[in-house]
Amino acid sequence: MKIEARTFRISGYPDFFAKDHMTVDIDAPRAEGDYVVFPGFCDVHVHLREPGFSYKETILTGSKAAAHGGYTTVCAMPNLKPVPDSFEHLNEELDIIKRDAVIDVLPYGAITIGELGKEHADLEGMAPYVCAFSDDGKGVQSDEMMKAAMYRAKALGRIIAAHCEDETLLHGGYIHEGIYAKEHGHAGISSASEWKQIERDLILAKETGCAYHVCHISTKESVELIRQAKRDGVNVSCETGPHYLVMDENDLQEDGRFRMNPPLRAKEDREALLAGIIDGTIDMIATDHAPHSAEEKAKGLPGSAFGIVGIETAFPVLYTKLVKENIITLEHLVSLMTVKPRERFGLPCGDSWCVWDLNKEYVIDPAEFLSMGKATPFAGWNVSGECLLTVHNGRTVYRKTGK
């Protein structure tokens, strides 16, 4: 049926829509409702697992899941097999993207060969085809290796996006080194393992002038370091994930769907992240969508693989917990999910948009995910906001069917 939906304008950003309302053809669950058209969301941090790990996710299933979540652009991390550390290896991923992706999928190129931190990848050969460079999943341990990569990336006009993790400070941990770990006998990951490497990289970014982006920050120290670096004129941006904004170690359960890297931190860390969102220190929200097989996530907190899925739940969780609770405005949330990531990474929106019923309330059920991954800490949550339609470059890539 055809319904009227209001288009959502964002101050200071080019208009996506020619008029205040659009007539859209959807299988509406009811005749009335607060239907809103947003520009297509953009996620600069996802794992689509192909090539190499298609039993976890594929570019086809991952991009369909993204469309289900209202996303029309995603940037795929390079921890693949083969790692995209040369044009030859990258081209395997590009071929699959060209064949199967239903939305824009932009690959990252690796910083080092095999993401092993020993020798630089062919940054020059990959630069025209990647959104940025990252060794996501691992921190670049060598100061000199990172410094040289920053100089090369700057010359190529590309961002270095860093997973910041000092491996000498991990000590076998797998959840936050806090109250829950102590009370339940788990090995903890210190906050310093994250912020110490951010501290190093900010010094290098200031020295080299490189455009530097910090992935999935989770600690209060990380927020303050980046806040101060921005004051000092460092070319730095950062992201955090939905789960770090709405959960902390007090929400942990003895279940693999709560194991992620970085881990859920303390309450004061979550509060610092929210403050960073409010004052603009944190530029964008990225899901770090990281699907695994059911078997890999069925080994509890100690033995499960790191990573959760999140691209299909990001907007409803954030709308419910941040906007409806008056922590940030809806305009601010949309900016964090589409405007800021597109501006920083130079990713156009084009004729891409999504329609949401903001009044629809439901319970998150992983069985309804289009992603092959089902491990989410949000299972069973009551949320508001349902995606009804996603259009990418004028083509429908997701449509909710009536029940």
User: In this structure, what CATH number is given to the domain that contains residue 258?
Assistant: 3.20.20.140
**Position 213 in a domain:** yes
**Position 286 in a domain:** yes
At 25 the three-state DSSP class reads strand
The predicted model scores a pTM of 0.96
Contact of 371 with 312, CB cutoff 8 Å: yes
Catalytic residue positions, numbered: 288
Contact of 377 with 251, CB cutoff 8 Å: yes
**Position 388 in a domain:** yes
**Domain count across the chain:** 1
**Position 30 in a domain:** no
End-to-end CA distance of the chain: 14
pLDDT of residue 34: 74
- In one-letter notation, the amino acid at residue 219 is T
pLDDT of residue 369: 98
**Position 6 in a domain:** no
pLDDT of residue 33: 59
**Position 21 in a domain:** no
Residue-range definition of the domain harbouring residue 227: 39-399
Q: Which residues of the chain have pLDDT under 50?
A: 31
At 92 the three-state DSSP class reads helix
**Position 12 in a domain:** no
pLDDT of residue 7: 80
List all residues 6 or more positions away from 360 whose beta carbon is below 8 Å from its beta carbon.
Answer: 29, 33, 384, 385, 386
pLDDT of residue 5: 73
pLDDT of residue 6: 78
pLDDT of residue 174: 98
**Position 294 in a domain:** yes
pLDDT of residue 392: 96
139 phi, psi to nearest 5 deg: -85, 145
